[in-house]
Structure 1
């Protein structure tokens, strides 16, 4: 089992490095040729109506015990020191720790259920005319990769009573490099599976518990669509305590108003949205913004050049700034990615008011996954692992009184 895991990790590292090199030295057209499927989109039937009653259709679910990747607990995850109040810009020094950044005491935690959608793990060159637009749910390599992602990205939510992370026929990596109509169809197919899994999740969890929606990258996009199409304006809206669509750009002007929930303005606020997209300075996000700004927002209007939403995970506030000693713990993977440990105070971050990017002062060494332009997309959550863990528990503790 360990050998298979390390083999999968080697594949991930190779693909990340190969993709980064391709995006750096190839033209846009050559990159699309390498990763965008050339064939027509092939429609697929819906999954069986009871498909998600099968435990094998979930990467994470109750009852998995130590095999649940979302329950991964890195070393030093407990008892982390809390930075002083002065760590957050604009606050006066104080002798006592800041309640904003202090992990919530166990006795005050509120039970909750998490629905987490993993990012794209079906990553392969588009070889041949029949290269698929969607990955199969039973592909062993992409499933292993998804579980690895969940260890680093869903584990900050492990304070939940239940964490559910579905398998789904995800759109391939190349679908995000083109405006061909097949790409939209691939994303629709992926969302259809996610929506079906969400329906099962809602029918299964305790109806009195609050719900947290979370995801990263492609998973965040599907989470935002769930919010718009299955939650806002329905009785479920009252149960949604928090939304974390991390690593997917959300236009402040043309996406956020349509989501009907505000950006989180204070660290204790619930029923709001927390998201960020991380770059190191000097940042070059032109490859990210080129396609995003030209596409219509959730309001149907072109997104244009306005900023994206940035809620700083170190401050819990929109457009916040904090130095490194506000960082409760970065999840730093071991050399073979088989484990990781939390390192406090590794990096600070600030929300850039012009672009909305979350900027760290300089590159940090977490592994080979950094993309061109100092894009730390792969590490959006691991960079701020312990702060996110404290954030969700703090906001859930505030949910019941606010409700």
Structure 2
């Protein structure tokens, strides 16, 4: 990629300009007209069996030359011998309204997705080897409409994600697993938790699931996802989720859509509380504002690199479950802030170092829990051999 790392802010430039600038100037309806496909949904066959056994189907995998998920800011390094296996689902990088789903070979979307991995998935390379699949993602406009085609597009994308996940499990061996995603990727991750983790033996291998930038209802979703909400910093086998806004915040665009939907248990999500993790503490954010130091990525002036910076801010959770920053870090925000003071673009980059530390703590907790399990349940001979 030469030195063309544009950092997550620049990665999302087109999306942010489309969503924020157009919304503020022309309103939501014209934004929909500009971004929602006017064509009919094109049904597509499932990918051929074993498609994800081909390295070309991955944006990141441990044996990939130039792996974008191995990027780190100065002073940080990927793990030399990563203990965990990380399955990361990238957010929407296809912005074209010509199709409901991105072609796998779309270079522009794939280049953006690779840059997402540098600014987001890289937070996990201190503890794990990262797999991140290409998939026929739903276009950005699918999130701006209630047309049936939008759900069909998301269902198609999810089929690819599940096929990739099956291959990931085959290649990851018996390593501990971290699941992570952002935005559309986090949406697919919730379905993956429901379909492939809840009630399955695999749940015991999950270090944590980072469902970032997508709401999870504590009452209408969480009971069906197979893992509890993370309530302690050293807890493993649990879910973290946050959506970042600066004060004063107006999350109505998210809440209106969320409240009109049905959760995984079949109940309405209207008025239900959402998981709201404080990424610094790894515990549910308090309703009262408290001061914290956060380790955030800040782009250089020419957007060719990023540095890791410590910033001071306050964090609190509003009544429904929106994470509120008192003062956003210097160098982040501006034209990339979405309507309602929504810092969705920065959900990972605001807390890059904190997410990295959180993953390390949870992996250590998982390791300790596994050792305790072996001590209790493993045959005496196996314990001696270990």
| TM-score (normalised: structure 2) | 0.89
Q: Distance in 1 between matches of 2:4 and 2:351?
A: 28
Instruction: Kindly indicate whether residue 194 of structure 2 is the aligned counterpart of residue 228 of structure 1.
Output: yes
2:89 corresponds to which residue?
A: 117
Q: Distance in 2 between matches of 1:228 and 1:395?
A: 21
Q: Distance in 1 between matches of 2:280 and 2:10?
A: 32
Deviation at residue 9 of structure 1 after TM alignment: 8.5
Q: Distance in 2 between matches of 1:221 and 1:206?
A: 25
Q: Distance in 1 between matches of 2:176 and 2:321?
A: 29
- Structure 2 runs not aligned, ≥5 long: 371-386
Could you list the structure 1 runs, at least 4 aligned residues long, displaced by more than 6 angstroms after superposition: 3-6, 8-11
Q: Pick from 326, 337, 344 the counterpart of residue 293 of structure 2.
A: 326
Matches within 5 A, 1:267-282: 267-282=233-248
1:182 corresponds to which residue?
A: 149
Q: Pick from 263, 288, 309 the counterpart of residue 343 of structure 1.
A: 309
SS in 1 for 2:324: strand
Deviation at residue 267 of structure 1 after TM alignment: 0.4
Instruction: Give 1 or 2: higher strand fraction.
Output: 2
Q: Distance in 2 between matches of 1:238 and 1:227?
A: 13
2:226 corresponds to which residue?
A: 260
Q: Distance in 2 between matches of 1:62 and 1:204?
A: 10
1:220-277 superposed Cα distances (whole Å, 9 cap, x missing partner)? 1111111111122222122112111111011122111111311111100000101100
1:100 corresponds to which residue?
A: none
Q: Distance in 2 between matches of 1:348 and 1:71?
A: 30
SS in 2 for 1:348: strand
1:172 corresponds to which residue?
A: 139
2:369 corresponds to which residue?
A: 402
2:273 corresponds to which residue?
A: 307
- Structure 1 runs not aligned, ≥5 long: 79-105
Kept after mapping to 2: 8 A contact 1:110/1:396: no
Q: Distance in 2 between matches of 1:14 and 1:397?
A: 39
Deviation at residue 306 of structure 1 after TM alignment: 2.4
Instruction: Kindly indicate whether residue 217 of structure 2 is the aligned counterpart of residue 218 of structure 1.
Output: no
Q: Distance in 1 between matches of 2:10 and 2:360?
A: 34
Q: Distance in 1 between matches of 2:103 and 2:9?
A: 20
2:360 corresponds to which residue?
A: 393
2:104 corresponds to which residue?
A: 137
1:206 corresponds to which residue?
A: 173
1:286 corresponds to which residue?
A: 252
Deviation at residue 307 of structure 1 after TM alignment: 2.3
What is the Cα-based RMSD across aligned positions, in Å?
2.3
1:44 corresponds to which residue?
A: 44
Greater mean alpha carbon deviation, residues 255-264 or residues 364-373: 364-373
2:204 corresponds to which residue?
A: 238
Deviation at residue 302 of structure 1 after TM alignment: 1.5
Kept after mapping to 2: 8 A contact 1:313/1:388: yes
| TM-score (normalised: structure 1) | 0.85
Q: Distance in 1 between matches of 2:52 and 2:229?
A: 32
